Structures are given as C-alpha cells and as structure tokens.
Structure 1
Amino acid sequence: MEPGGDAVAGLEVSGLTKHYGAHAAIQDIGFRLERGALLTLLGPSGCGKTTLLRSIGGFVATDSGTIRVEGQEISALPPERRPTATVFQGYALFPHMSVAANVAYGLKIQGMLKSEIAERVRDALAAVQLSAMAERMPSQLSGGQQQRVALARCLVVRPRILLLDEPFSALDRNLREEMQVELRKLQQRMGITTVVVTHDQQEAYILSDWVAVMNAGRLHQFDRPAGVYDRPATRFVAGFTGMTNILAGHGDGTHFIAEGIGRFPVAAPALPGSALGLRPGALRLVDPADPAACAVGEVAFVAMTGAEALCEITCPGGALQVAMPRRDGPPAPGALVGVAMVNPDEAVVLAA
C-alpha cells in the first residue's frame, strides 16, 4: 500500500512541530506509513530525526501536531502508555543483570505473572538468536550481541511500533552490515511497523521500505529508497545522497547548459536558477573529439574507491566527478578528456 491509501496506517504523523526556544527542531512533519513497513529517518546530525523519533515514543512533548498508531491517537499519552518500544543509541542495558533479566525487566515492572514473563523472554531471545546467552552478563557479550539484547527487550513487550535510534552506530563496519541484514529479516518476519534513525544512506537503502530525508527540521522527501536515489526531490537530497555533480545553469527544452562546463542532452525547461544533478556513475570518459562529449576538461586527480576509480575533471566553469571501472585504466592527472552521459534518463533537473 502506498502512503495515503485507504487502509488504516500503522503510523500516521500530521503537522508535528517542536521548538526549543526560537529554534525549530522539527517543522510541520507529516507522513503515513502502512502497517508492517520499515521507515528510516535519514539526514545529517542535528536535522531533527532523533527529535521526531523521540516525539513518536512520547519522550519529547511537541508544540503541535498529532500521532496515530493504527488509527488510535497517542499524542497525549506518556511513553509507558504508548504502544511503542524504543532501542536507544547506547542500548542502556543494566550491567548487574543477566541477559534474561534485562529482557524481563519491563514486564516485571508491569506486574506480569512469572510464568508469562518466562515464556515471553524465551520467545524474544529466540527471535534475536540469543537463547544460549540468557544467563550471561552484558559485559560478556559482543557489541552486536548487546544490540540484540536491547532489541529483545523491546520485542518482549510486543509493541505495535518499534523505534530505533542509530542502532548500529557503535559497531564496526562488518558487524554493522551484518546486523542491518539481521534486523531487516527479523522485522519482516515479525511484521512490526518500525522506524529507524540513521545518518548513513547505505543503511537506509538496505533496511527500508520507505525513507524520509530530513534537514534543518523539515521533511524534504518521503519515498521508496529507489525514488530517493534516482529522483531526489531537492538539491539537499541530491547532494546528501551522493549526487556530487550539481551543475548550475538553465535548460533550452532539449539540453541543459551548464555555463563554462558544457551542454548536456537532457530535456530541461528554461527555468531560471535550476540545476542539473548527475551521479559520477552517470558519466563516462571519452576522447575530447568524440561527438558524444558534453564537456571537455583536464583530469585533476584520480582516487580509488574499490572496484571503481573516481576521476575529477576540471572544466573552465567548474569540475565534474566521473566514476569508471578501475580495470579500464583511468587516465593520468593532466590528461585532456571528454565527458559524455551514460544515459540521459539518469540526470535530474533540480528547481531553484
């Protein structure tokens, strides 16, 4: 179901605003997320994504707006009465309690029967593949295992909404990538509507059904991961998601003219102040005399990024970044090259 469909949404946020003094941490945020979907709140530090997450969980009182979970308005409820559970960035495990005791803690506070607590703890630890670690202490666990204990502690209360604030930020790269896949599989298996805060675009693409890109307290784009990557809605989204070639200029209907750089065969209207967005992989190097060349410049430097080489080409009016397979043998710095488009459909015309 697309956002805005007729079915009851798993999570619906409307007009959410929060000020700290004169500073607007979040401004008029609204979106609709279907039940069982995973949304990432993506943006740089200080953009408001954690404030938004904590507002949904009830830890931040908003100035205005509403929050609904499966049709029920929860805006005025305290955190303990909301059908949400939150995994905080630091995990917040009790160091003097075993894994099982950490997971059971919230249920004991609720006064649940011991037999039911034991059953729920077993189920939650099995879900995160930690059944064998039940009697261990947090200090005896790896970072990834501690993260899974924090997740189990949320799952045990059977929330309708699961909230995670930068859950993998303390893990090294390999473990982080492994845990991203594990979380996605678990979330899909359990069907819990989930919201994850991250500043890592790759993490957002791996995890998400939907991505909400934020900056300066505002929601710039709410879209599928492919939509954010292929068709960024604003210049901020384009730049933040790695569209490093953002060329100022104007269109003439059949081409986009970037002054001092070149003419690109993109059907661009004659809008003042517009820009052309191109990812490095949307360009290729050709002979300067090749008719396909949109621009001609000098190779400023070449950097290895794994299987690819990233070439910066200096033109009279600016620079272009071009990605190419390293096996193709990138040109040496100082070489004169042409730059052509791989596919004009990969270009995005960005409004002022």
Structure 2
Amino acid sequence: MDVEELRQRLQYEPESLPLSSKIGAIDFNKVDSALKWLEQADNHYIIGLFDPLYPSLLQQIYDPPTVLFIKGNINALLPPSIAIVGSRNMSLHGANTTAKIAQDLSLKGFSITSGLAAGIDGAAHQAVVKCQGVTIAVLGCGIDVVYPKRHKQLYIDIQHDGCIVSELWPQVSPIASHFPKRNRIVSGLSIGTLVVEAARKSGSLITARLAMEQNREVFAVPGSIVGQYHQGCHDLIKNGVKLVEDAADIIEELSSLSQFHLDQLHQRHHIEQSEMSNLPFSPQLASLLKSVGYETTTIDAVVEHSGEPLDLVLVQLLELELQGWVAVVPGGYVRLKRS
C-alpha cells in the first residue's frame, strides 16, 4: 500500500483520526508513520471501509470506522463474535463467571470481543487465550500502544489466534474521549453483547446501549442485590435484556432469533426439493448451504446469493459449521463433502 492508496482510503475520516475533513489537508507525517508501522511485520494490516477484509457486521453500523489498524491474525475477524464487557473492579465471582462463559462460547466456535481493559475485559480475553480460542481486543489508543500496561503479555498472546484492532493512528495515547468510540466497535463487531458486573454508571452500559442501537442482541449476568456492582445488569434485565447464567443461554437466544427469521422465509427457487429432502436439517439451512461453494466463498457472496440478512446468515453458517457441513477458511467459508 502506498501513500496515494492510503489517501484514497481516508477520504471520509472519522473524528477519532487527527486529520482534516479535506483530503488535501492530510498530515502525511501521520500517513508515513502508519505506512512504516504497516511494513514492520507481516501481521500488521490497514484496511479501509470497502476493503474485502473489512468486517461486514461493523460495516453495517451507523458510523463505521473508515480505516482499521489490525495486528495479529486477520482471520480472527471471520467467525461470529460475542462481546463481553463489564466492571474494571471485578469480583472473584465475576472473574470466574466471565472465564467460564467466554471459554464455553469459544469452544462453540464464537470469537470473543472486548476492550482489553482491566477487570472483566481482561478476564474474557485471558480465558479465550488459555483455551487457544479466538479473541479480538479493540483499543481506545493507537494499535501499538498497550493500555493498561499490565496487559502487555495478554496483548502479545491475543495476536497468536486473535487480533488487536484500533481505528486510531499508531502512537496515539489513550484519552477518555476515545473509549466511548471504541465501544461502538466492540458492539459493532459482534452479533451480541454480554454485560457482567456493571454498576449504573458503568461504561459497559454504553456498549450495551450502542449494541441495542445497532440492532444487536444484549445479555446480562445477574448478581447480588446487596451493593452497587450489579445494578446496571439488573436494570438491563428489567428492561427486557435476557438474563444469562451460562453460555447455553446465549446460544439458545441466538437460535431463537434464527428460528424467528426462518419462520418467515420462503423456499428458494434454486433449491431442488429432492436435494433438500436428503439433508438432515431444515430446508432453510439447506438453502443457505447451496450458497457456499466447495471453493472459498466470501461472506458477502453467501449473503448476496442467499438473499438473507447478514445476522441470520452468520447464525446459520455457525450451525452448519458445528454440524460439519462448512468450514471457516481465510477469506470466507468452504463447503465440506459429507456422506
């Protein structure tokens, strides 16, 4: 990628990037710095809003980042993700609950997205790293800045199977105004957001609100009515958010969402009835399976061919993956041959 290509990608800059709204006024010292960062390692990436590698779910939100800086395994952006957020001052019970749910979701094929903050965020990332799953850390600072510093080793470990993501230039320091913007990326990358241990003024509730505005699912773990550490979660539950005790509650809700959409679907004209009758699942899943080729098929191609909304396609692909009919590969999905 050269300066001119990066210039084209930065035509509509988010406020978080320290650039003028006019492309002619770009600070090319920053551009040069970003390009030098890009060349430092093979696992450094800069992707624009219309890049094929740009996460499709994030692309759908009201104000998606124009540019993403990514460090680590770029394929970590492919699996359906669940965000886990919560208190920086977590209890032992909160840490254990977070670790158990994060690991169980990871073993079911989900990636786990969070903000690398102290407390619940760190516990979620750490649990997934421990089971060699995929986790995505979204930063409120430059991609090469570790914050908090205590998470330096975790920052490194995440990159093996997962990745670090930021919309901010390299070397940008963490400041308070960056984190609400960071939160929209955490929720925007995910099909659902789980809140663990949140007080009423918790920043985690900002992420939950953003998830709702993005038409994503929100879940909350209840806790003791004594003290103030769970009041935010309890308020969410009172307002209709699903109460979660374990990963199965989240998976059940996503399956219910899938079934809600499936009930409204019509059989696709390109699916032969004889072929569907030989498959051990619903005609709707059979329809989606026909949209995945034996060669690498991008998620955008699956959505276009199937005619279904992206959130439903991701849920259905996960079901097909768990049943062994498709596999996640770099660039999308492939159909597997089964007897």
Q: If the TM-score is normalised by the length of the shorter chain, which range does it land in?
A: under 0.3
Of Structure 1 and Structure 2, the greater strand share is in 1
Pair member with larger Rg:
1
TM-score (norm 2): 0.25
TM-score (norm 1): 0.24
